[in-house]
Amino acid sequence: MSLLPARPRAIEGTWIRHVPHRANLLGRSSTPSDGRWQRGGIIPALYLADTVATATAEWYRSLAEWGLSPQDHVPYDHHRWRVELELADLSDTERLHDVMLREPRPSRQTWPAYQRVGEQLWREGWAGLIAPSAAHPGSLIVCVFASAWPPAGCTPLDASTVKRIPPPPRGMAT
């Protein structure tokens, strides 16, 4: 029985992963990292953005949070992934409120509440979730729980290199 009132949403399409330059298409860190929706020590995850602008906004958010300069982190790559999954739909304010969360803000300090929900969804058997981007309001991210690599329903397609610092996307929040 599900403890969280999450609804399923079928996701089919191409999503973007921001990675270090020349990272292997199937590459991942040897130590799973924490994200907004999970802790790496509990369950690794694959995070993807709905657009290049969203991936770029999330990159700027991460750099700002760590006090890092964009010029020290180019070039980098964007990997395109094909996703075909049924995910927990937390994609709008109403659905977030259903699981007792607010619209995400760009700060790691807000992560624990989201991690509790994400990890509960994983324990309940969800493949992952779709949610608003904290860095690019109006855009979406997916968090796919990754007990196997690559996660079922996720296929890496190709990579492109970004050689120059891109302009910050309109509406970005850091």
Q: Identify the residue whose tokens are 């891109």.
A: 166
Does residue 173 lie within any of the structural domains?
no
Residue 97: per-residue pLDDT:
96
CATH number at residue 13: 3.90.175
Does residue 171 lie within any of the structural domains?
no
Does residue 172 lie within any of the structural domains?
no
User: Which residues lie below 8 Å from residue 168, measured CB to CB, with a gap of 6+?
Assistant: 56, 57, 60
- Label residue 174 by pLDDT band (50, 70, 90): confident
Residue 173: per-residue pLDDT:
86
Does residue 167 lie within any of the structural domains?
no
Residue 1: per-residue pLDDT:
43
Residue 48: per-residue pLDDT:
98
Q: Which residues is 88 bridged to in the sheet?
A: 8, 129
Does residue 150 lie within any of the structural domains?
yes
C-alpha distance from residue 160 to each of 21, 22, 89, 144, 157 (Å): 9, 9, 29, 22, 11
Average pLDDT (45-73) is: 95
Does residue 122 lie within any of the structural domains?
yes
Residue 2: per-residue pLDDT:
63
Mean pLDDT, rounded, of the chain = 94
Average pLDDT (96-125) is: 96
Average pLDDT (115-141) is: 97
Choose among 168, 171, 163, 170: nearest CA to 64. 168
Q: Which domain holds residue 48?
A: 8-162
Q: Identify the residue whose tokens are 């977030």.
A: 96
Task: Give the chain's domain count.
Answer: 1
- Label residue 11 by pLDDT band (50, 70, 90): very high
Does residue 104 lie within any of the structural domains?
yes
Model-wide pTM > 0.85: yes
Is the pLDDT at 159 greater than 50, yes or no?
Answer: yes
Does residue 46 lie within any of the structural domains?
yes
Is the pLDDT at 32 greater than 80, yes or no?
Answer: yes
- Label residue 13 by pLDDT band (50, 70, 90): very high
